[in-house]
Structure 1
């Protein structure tokens, strides 16, 4: 009996579920794309994907990771954390959707009452709300948007900072895996704010928006003074030429600024990587170490050299780790004496040649300091150019695997049919090769510049000076010698990247560079002033971005422009547009997203 009644019950359940789905779908599509409810749903969906994907990928890809993270209980903890009120998705939805809802309320209160459609109770409620929000109702739309977003952003950052933090991990040691120099800085065991990286990311994007606004105004003013202005009203063609010229001017100026800020940021980041890694995120330090293929003992020696506990001139080695450089030489199959500061010559000249003859070192005549074979990482790698080329090729292969999904995924997610076009596929492949070449050039440039400064060129040039003006390798191999030179030159590889990618690369590294400028002790102190400063930066920055997305979208570019356009205005293409046409709900459409060509021009 039960088996005979089961199919109808199952059928009714499926039918009810289908009707409920259609009802929800109809309800959602009855609102405009820029309605607060639609904005909140898109924000939550996007934010949840950004927070859950990195957290759940280890569970899905590796059994070892699943065991390390606690298996099923670990998954439950991740879901509980990310789906909770203090989770990233909910907090960001409060910031974006809450600001949109408050703006919608202010617009509603600003409209006059309609006795024919507004019930008495609703009119009474609107009058009360008008009195409460009177200072905001009479403001301009831009000011209303900024203040609304400011209030919702404050709630969001408060929620994010109130979430329970995981147990602190050990700080990055200054000289892994050996004890640090006695006079070097040892980072505090306290961890910085868990929202610091997010705050700096939003802060940098907001500053970029402000700079783009200034550049846009400058090009507009320059454009308005063009000789074609006198006849632009009489000829649409001339107006189009002027607009193109203005965009060209803006693109050139923006490209120069992007390259400048990338160069400054990369120089600061690489210098901190060598000498102050605690100022960088742990994952970032690990990634650079892997990509550059640097032995930790070489980094330790450089930091000892900076603290003057390891020295060519005095022959000193740190008492806590006297064989740090010698052990590196031994592990490479070289004599330990090649890494002994008491034996290595501090200056070039004939005295250095005598030492090299005694040690059996070839190809370093007239130059002091450690043999390049140790720096390169092997006895069979004597050529400085060969070392730089080998590391560049290795970095190219790794970079290609990194950049391939970066260039393919956007098209795969938005316009997958375009990948069937050989022209589009070839263009994406060439872009990937270009990005990989940029990163490999970045790596090889820093290595070759180091050798150029400490071996190939500068020591021979300095040897022309009188003996009393000779410079020791404590300086040439120190933080203001070859390392500084390498850090200052590697960023020039950004010119290999295409224009719009330069901007994204700059916006990627700049938050990390800003982080290195903050005093680590202050950031890790957890004092009330630190919390207040971060909340103010978060609120002002996010409010600037959200307000610009509504009132000044031309000041946004790259990922900021695409993301905020999607959140605020809707997809405006593909599935959602087709659904709306099919249903014909009458809901007003949102503004169209600029075409790919337009985005590419303006974003550059």
Structure 2
């Protein structure tokens, strides 16, 4: 089974670069993990620098740096990125300690267990040794990453970073910089455990010829349901508590949404009670100014005169039809997404180019763009369903009911619908996407920081989760699903 797994891992049968035949087998996982960690940490930053440099060279703005100074600044930035990636408290060293420790400690621990627990068989000793080796390596590697001094990462929200700065000035010490990594490991561990239990349940039911269509349906829908629940949580957080999301993630969602932020602010104020229908609370200028910008009557934005404010405002001047607005949203979002997905799809096809590569790249990019466009369309149309199409018929049309709808029910409808766009993707993509968004959804439910003396809890969760995933990757690699399974299959082989 493991040999079959290795044959399917990208790069497993590639050149000698990652096979490292010149190194002793015991050291290959450690070095391979360091190289992959270094590439993943440095390559995106280098790509960003290159794109920024090319953009500056093409611009005709007179305020740009002189050519000679720009080249020198670019070179210094590249050297800085390459050098900081080599620091011992960075991600590459973390990867090397995590993987290297998990593999190198196995044999010593197995010998110790053999002396202490003489009644255990070789298989049980190896399994316990692997679990303990991964536990120790994960604990040490995470502590190494956490030991780097400094404020929260740049992708933390501005409010979190500002509070951290005030706490640092006051002498307080807080932790939480590695929360996203810990939640990612915990999600993978839960997926491994639940998947193994479900697999055994299925084997028993199949052997007894009691496996039902309902259970088969659950097997197919577990990933889509995970994605739907996770995306709903993330979108709710983006709407009402954006500081719970990393700032980069928050900006990307806002960019993809193409929404007037005054509309978002109005719905937030409706939820907080600052904006109340049929009551004068001084909120007319917010949506009133928006109405003027989109050629709509100013009075439509006054919550005292118009209850509720028309969906024309939600459509941002594209007419009263919710269905037309949904279709136009789909088209604009699909076109916007193609600018991102098509170059990536073409680049992936260059690995093994054929005559059909351009067509395959176009189909792949179109499908991914359709997913994103449907996600955005479902969210907006869900808001319209809640506000005008369905919500008033279920909740009521009185002023308090309208207030209740715009205080969260309409946004909740959009949050519930948007994730179902994942059904457009293939089963393998649904799995990867579910595993990608689940830890981000969990992060919105937890504080971004914790007291430094409570950091041992995070370390324990991370270590136990990694021990589960790594042990499973060595004993039953097919059980570790998604991209992580492929990476571990490539990294941990001798």
Q: TM-score category by the smaller chain?
A: 0.7 to 0.9
**Deviation of 1:88 (Å):** 0.3
Alignment of 1:290-309 (within 5 A): 290-309=255-274
In structure 2, how many angstroms separate the alpha carbons of the residues matched to 1:160 and 1:311? 48
Shift of 1:405: 5.6
2:243 alignment partner in structure 1: 278
| 1:476 Cα deviation after fit | 1.6
> 3-state DSSP class of the match of 1:381?
coil
Q: TM-score, normalised by structure 2?
A: 0.81
Measure how far apart 1:373 and its partner are: 2.0
**1:293-326 superposed Cα distances (whole Å, 9 cap, x missing partner):** 11121111111111101111323236xxx62222
Q: Is the 8 A contact 1:168 1:190 kept in 2?
A: no
Once residues 470 and 79 of structure 2 are traced to their aligned partners in structure 1, the CA distance between those partners, rounded to angstroms, is: 33
State the alpha-carbon separation in 1 of the partners of residues 152 and 482 from structure 2: 36
Matched, 1:101 2:109: no
8 Å Cα contact 2:289-2:298 kept in structure 1? yes
Q: How far apart are 1:273 and its partner, in Å?
A: 1.0
- Answering whether residue 433 of structure 2 is matched by residue 505 of structure 1, we say yes
Partner residue of 1:203?
186
Using CA pairs below 8 Å that are at least 6 residues apart, which structure has the higher relative contact order? 2
Which is greater in Rg?
1
Shift in Å, 1:95: 0.6
**Match runs of 1:185-200 below 5 Å:** 189-190=163-164, 193-200=176-183
Q: Report the alpha carbon displacement of residue 97 of structure 1 after superposing the two structures with TM.
A: 1.0
Partners in 2 of 1:429 and 1:511 — Cα distance? 30
Counterpart-to-counterpart distance in 2, 1:494 and 1:451: 21
Partner of 2:487: 563
Cross-structure match for 1:476: 405
Native 8 Å contact 1:399 1:440 kept in 2? yes
d(CA) in 2 for partners of 1:42 and 1:252?
39
Structure 1 residue corresponding to 2:354, chosen from 416, 420, 424: 420
Task: Tell me which residue corresponds to 2:296.
Answer: 334
In structure 1, stretches of 5+ residues that fail to align are 1-23, 111-129, 175-185, 228-244, 346-368, 571-604
RMSD: 3.4
Whether the 8 Å CA contact 2:271–2:407 is kept in 1: the answer is yes
Aligned length: 452
SS in 2 for 1:323: helix
Structure 2 gaps, min length 5:
1-15, 57-64, 166-174
- What's the TM-score once normalised by structure 1's chain length? 0.68
Q: Give the Å deviation of 1:327.
A: 2.2
State the alpha-carbon separation in 1 of the partners of residues 214 and 470 from structure 2. Answer: 26
CA deviation string 1:535-564 (max 9, x = no partner): 112211222211111012121122022111
1:443-482 mapped onto 2 (5 Å cutoff): 443-459=376-392, 471-479=400-408, 481-482=409-410
Contact 1:95/1:149 (8 A) holds in 2 = yes
Q: 1:485 aligns with which of 403, 413, 417?
A: 413
Q: Which residue of 1 aligns with 2:21?
A: 29
Q: Distance in 1 between the 2:319 and 2:161 partners?
A: 36
Moved more, 213-222 or 257-266: 213-222
Does residue 545 (structure 1) correspond to residue 474 (structure 2)? The answer is no
TM-superposed deviation, 1:75: 3.5
- Corresponding position of 1:344: 306
Contact kept in structure 2, 1:277 and 1:285, CA below 8 Å: yes
In structure 1, what is the Cα distance between the partners aligned to 2:463 and 2:347? 31
1:84 maps to 87
Match of 1:398 among 325, 336, 344: 336
Post-superposition offset of 1:534: 1.7
CA change 1:484–1:341 in 2 (3 A) is: same
Verify the 8 A CA contact 1:344 1:370 in the aligned structure 2.
yes
